[in-house]
Amino acid sequence: MKLFVMSSDEALINKIKERKVFTSVQQINDVEKSSKDGYLLISDRVLPYSELSTIEFENKKVFYMLENQYKPQLESTVKAICNSKDIYLIPPRLVVEQIVDFIDQNLNLAMVQKTNIITFFSSVSNIGTTSTCLSVGKALSQYTNAKVGVLLLNAWDSGTDQLNFKGNYMDQVKSKLASKTISSEQEFLSQFHMVNPNLYILGGNRDTKMERLFTKEEINYLIEHSKQTFDVVLVDAGSHFDNANMVRALNESNLRFLIMNQQTKAIRKFNQFHRDILYPLGYEKEDLLMIINQFEDLSHLPTTKDIHKDIDIPLLTTIEKSENGMLSEIERTVLYDYEDIGYKQSINAVAKSIASSVDLIFNDELQLPRRRKFFGIL
Instruction: Identify whether the C-beta of residue 243 lies closer than 8 Å to the C-beta of residue 237.
Output: no
Q: Give the SS3 label for residue 192.
A: coil
**Bridge partners of residue 90, in order along the sequence:** 65
Question: Phi, psi (5° rounding) for residue 217?
Answer: -65, -40
Residue 213 and residue 351 in one domain? yes
Has residue 378 got a pLDDT over 50?
no
Q: Are residues 205 and 324 in the same domain?
A: yes
Per DSSP, 322 falls in state P
pLDDT attached to residue 20: 84
The band of 288, judged by pLDDT with boundaries at 50, 70 and 90, is very high
Q: Identify whether the C-beta of residue 132 lies closer than 8 Å to the C-beta of residue 187.
A: no
CATH at 229: 3.40.50.300
Given a cut of 80, whether residue 274 has pLDDT beyond it is yes
Query: In whole angstroms, how far apart are CA 275 and each of 80, 93, 122, 261, 295?
Result: 12, 17, 15, 20, 26
> Which domain-ending residue is among 106, 135, 164?
106
Residues 56 and 130 in one domain: no
From first CA to last CA, the distance across the chain in angstroms is 48
Distances, alpha carbon 6 to alpha carbons 48, 65, 88, 94, 212, in Å: 11, 10, 15, 17, 31
The pLDDT tens digits for 341-359 are: 999 999 999 999 999 889 8
Whole-number pLDDT of residue 290: 94
pLDDT score at 86:
83
**Planar angle of CA 328, 250, 93, nearest 5 degrees:** 130
229 vs 328: CA distance, rounded Å: 29
CB atoms within 10 A of CB 108: 8
Residue 372: the pLDDT is 42
What count of Cα atoms within 13 Å lies in the side-chain half-sphere of residue 157? 17
Mean pLDDT for the chain overall: 88
Phi first, then psi, for residue 166 (nearest 5°) are -130, 15
Three-state DSSP at 352 gives helix
Shared-domain flag, residues 16 and 155: no
The verdict on 80 and 8 lying in the same domain is: yes
Confidence (pLDDT) at 374: 41
Report the share of the chain in percent with pLDDT over 70: 93
DSSP 51: G
The predicted pLDDT at position 277 comes to 87
- Judgement on whether residues 74 and 126 belong to the same structural domain of the protein: no
CATH number of domain containing 62: 3.40.50.2300
- Are 28 and 127 in a shared domain? no
3-state secondary structure of 255: strand
- Structurally, the chain folds into a number of domains equal to 2
Q: Are 142 and 282 in a shared domain?
A: yes
What does the pLDDT average to over 237-254?
Answer: 88
**Last residue of some domain: 106, 136, 161?**
106
Task: Output the CA–CA distances (angstroms, integers) from residue 221 to 226, 247, 325, 350, in the order listed.
Answer: 9, 14, 34, 27
Distance of alpha carbon 322 from the chain centroid: 26
Which of 87, 106, 125 delimits the end of a domain? 106
- Give per-residue pLDDT as tens, 206-242: 998 888 889 989 999 999 999 999 999 999 999 988 7
Half-sphere exposure (Cβ direction) of 197: Cα atoms closer than 13 Å = 2
Does residue 190 belong to any structural domain of this protein?
A: yes
pLDDT digits (tens, 9 = 90+) for 329-340: 899 999 999 989
**Cβ–Cβ under 8 Å, residues 245 and 214:** yes
pTM of this prediction?
0.76
Q: What are the pLDDT digits (tens) for 42-79?
A: 999 999 888 887 788 877 789 999 887 767 667 778 88
Query: Does residue 326 form part of some domain?
Result: yes
**Residue pLDDT, tens place only, 307-324:** 999 999 989 999 999 989
Residue 375 domain flag: no
Contact present, 368 and 341 (Cβ < 8 Å): yes
Q: Domain check: are 102 and 42 in the same one?
A: yes
What range does the domain containing 96 cover?
2-106
Residue 171 lies in a domain: yes
Mean pLDDT of 105-126: 80
